[in-house]
Structure 1
Amino acid sequence: MRSRLLRGTVGVLALVVLAVGAVALLLTRLVPDRVSETCAVVLDDGTRHVLDADQADNAALITAVTVRRGLPARAATIALATAVQESKLRNIDYGDRDSLGLFQQRPSQGWGTPEQVTDPVYATNAFLDGLVQVPGYTELPITEAAQTVQRSGYPEAYADHEPEGRAFASALTGHSPASLTCHLPEPDAAASPAEAASARLEQDFGITATAADGAVVVGAAALPGDAPQRLAWAVAHWAVATAVDTGVTTVEVAGQVWQRSDGNEAGWAPADGGGPDDGGVRIS
C-alpha cells in the first residue's frame, strides 16, 4: 500500500513538473523577452548602471532636450534623477491624485493639460523651465534643485538616484564616449529604422536629417552647440538608447561602431570608416 502511494505521488509530481515546463515554454514563445532589453553605461572606473531599454529611451529623450536647449550636463543629471524617482523613467498615465507622465506633473497645479504633461518633450521642457529659474542650480545638491521645481512630499529620495542619473547624463551628453550600449532583439524586418531615427532626431534634438539609402547622416555642422566631437557622441549614444523604438541596427561615429547584432557584451568596436568624414554620425 505504502509503495503504491509513493509511486502515485511520484507520478503526480512528474506530471506537475511537465505541466510547469510546458507553461514556461509557452510563455517564453508568447511573451516578448523584455528582460533582455537593457541598456548599460560603463564608466572609466568600471562602475556599471543599467536601465530597461524603454527607460533608457526616455532618458535619451530627456537628455537630448537639455542638449537642444544648450544646458549643462548637470541639468540632465537632475532631470534624470527626478524622473527615475517620480515615474521610474516611464511615461505613465497615473499617479498620486492627478499626477501624470515622466515627471508626475499635476494639471491642477498649472503644469499643463493631461495631454501635455504626458507628452515627454513637453514634460521635459516644463521641468527644465522650472529648473533654470532656480538660482545656482548647477551647484546645488540634487535634492534641493529638484525639490524647488517639484515640491515633492519626499524630497530626499531624489538623491538616491543621482548615480544612475549622472552616469546616463554623462554618456548621453557625450562626456563619456563609447560608454553606452544596449542589448536588444532583432527589430521588425518591415521597419524603416532610418526614417524612424530621422523623425526622432527632429523631435528630440531639433535636428533635421533626411534618411537616404537606408541611413541617416548627421554631419558635424548639424550638431547643436560648439563642441562637435562631444556632441557627435551624444547623438550616437542617443541613437543606441532609442534603438528599441526606432529599430536602428548600426551606429557609426569617430572610428567606432555599435552593432545591434553584437549584443550588450560587445559594446563599441573599431570600425572601417566609422562615421561621416566630417566627424558626424551615421545611423542605420
Structure 2
Amino acid sequence: MRSTRGGITLAEEQPPRGGPRWIARGIILSLVALVGLGAWFGGRSLVLGVLGPRCQATAAGNSVDFDPEQMSNAATITAIALKRGLPARAATIALATAIQESKLRNIRYGDRDSVGLFQQRPSQGWGTVEEILDPEYSTNKFYDALVKVDDWESATITVVAQKVQRSAYPEAYADHEQEGRILASTLAGHSPRGFGCRLDDPQGEADVAMVERLLTNEYDLKAAGGDGTLTVTAPSDQFAWSIAAWSVAKAVDTGITGVTVSDRRWTRSRDSDAWTWQTTDSPAGTRQVVLHLT
C-alpha cells in the first residue's frame, strides 16, 4: 500500500518506471504509430482512387490537366493539324473551341441536333451524326472551315471560332485560349517533355492494329514492328516529340506501356512520376519514337 507524509508520496514508494504505466504507454504509442502508418497508406490509396487516371500538359511554366479521354481527343485534334501542315495556332483555335463546346468529349448530344467534339450540326451541313461522331472526320471538317476564314492566323480567337462555329456565345471561346495554347504547344512537340499521363495498367495486350491505324489516319505515318515495340521515324525533332506526346495520350486507348524519344522515356504508371520523362540508358535513334507494347 502506498503511504504519504504530509500529502507527499515518497520517492521510494513511487511505482517503478518499468511498471504497468510505462508498458501501457508503450502500447498506446505503438498503436498510434500503426494507425498513422495505416492512415498514410489508406490516404494515399484514397487519393489515387479519387483522382483516378490523369494527364498533364506543361508549357512555358503553365500546366493544364484533363482526364485521358479528353487528352486522347486533344491529341487527335493536334496531330491532324500537323498532318495538314497547319501551324500550332490552328490547333490552339480548334482545341479552345472543343473545350468550350464539349469539354473535349465526343458526346452524342447537345443543343438541338449538335453532336461530337465541336458540337457540329447535321442540319447545317457538317455531315451525318455518324460522321460527326468520328473525331478524325469532325476535326478535318473543322479545319476545312477554319482555313476559309479570312485572317484566321492573326484575328482573335473569338472572331475566328465564331465564323467557323456560328455559336450563340462567341465570347466564351476566348476563355479557353490559354488551355488551347498549352495543349497545342506540348502535343505539337514545341514543348518537349511537357506531356505525361498517370494511367492504370492496361487491360490485356496492346492493340497494335489500332496504333498503326491511328498513326496513319492522324499523322499519315507508318511504324516498323520490333520485339514488343513499334518504331516511328519522324521528319523532325519537333515532330518526334509530337508523336511521343500523342502516343502517351493514346495509351489509354491502345495499351501502350512506354514511349522512348531521344534519351527520355515515359513509363506507364499510376504514380505521379508518369507525368514526367525520365532519362533512359537505351535511347531511341535520331528522330525516332519507340512505342513499347509490353
* Same structural fold, with TM-score higher than 0.5 when normalized by the shorter chain: yes
Q: TM-score range by the shorter chain?
A: 0.7 to 0.9
Taking structure 1 as the reference length, what is the TM-score of the superposition? Answer: 0.82
Alignment deviations for residues 206-263 of structure 1 (CA, whole Å, 9 cap, x no partner): 212243321110013xx4xxxx010000000000111111111110001111011373
Whether the 8 Å contact between 2:59 and 2:185 is mirrored in structure 1 is no
Number of residue pairs aligned between Structure 1 and Structure 2: 247
Q: Which residue of 2 aligns with 1:7?
A: none
Gaps of 5+ in 2: 1-41
Gapped runs of 5+ residues in structure 1?
A: 1-24
Letter of the 1:134 counterpart: V
The 3 A distance-change label for structure 1 pair 211 and 198 is farther
Instruction: Give the one of 91, 108, 119 matched to 1:104.
Output: 119
Deviations 1:162-214 (A, max 9, x none): 111110100011000000000101111x2224443222212221212243321
In 1, distance between residues paired with 2:101 and 2:93?
Answer: 12
- Identify the residue that residue 80 of structure 2 maps to in structure 1: 65
**What does 1:189-208 align with in structure 2 at a 5 Å threshold?**
190-208=204-222
Identify the residue that residue 42 of structure 1 maps to in structure 2.
Answer: 58
| Residue 217, structure 1, aligned to residue 231, structure 2 | yes
| 1:264-279 matched pairs, under 5 angstroms | 264-266=272-274, 267-275=276-284, 277-279=285-287
| AA of the residue aligned to 2:215 | L
For the pair 1:243 / 2:251, whether they are aligned, the reply is yes
Deviation string 1:122-178 (CA, Å, 9 cap, x unpaired) is 100000000001122111111111001000000000011111111010001100000
Q: Give the secondary structure class of the aligned counterpart of 2:230.
A: strand
Under a length normalisation based on structure 2, what TM-score does the superposition of the two structures give?
A: 0.80
**Does structure 1 retain, via aligned residues, the 8 Å contact 2:244–2:260?**
yes
- Alpha carbons 1:41, 1:171 under 8 Å: kept: yes
| Aligned pair partner of 1:174 in 164, 185, 189 | 189
Aligned: 1:160 with 2:169: no
What is the match of residue 150 of structure 1? 165
Larger Rg: 2
Q: Tell me the equivalent position of 1:82.
A: 97
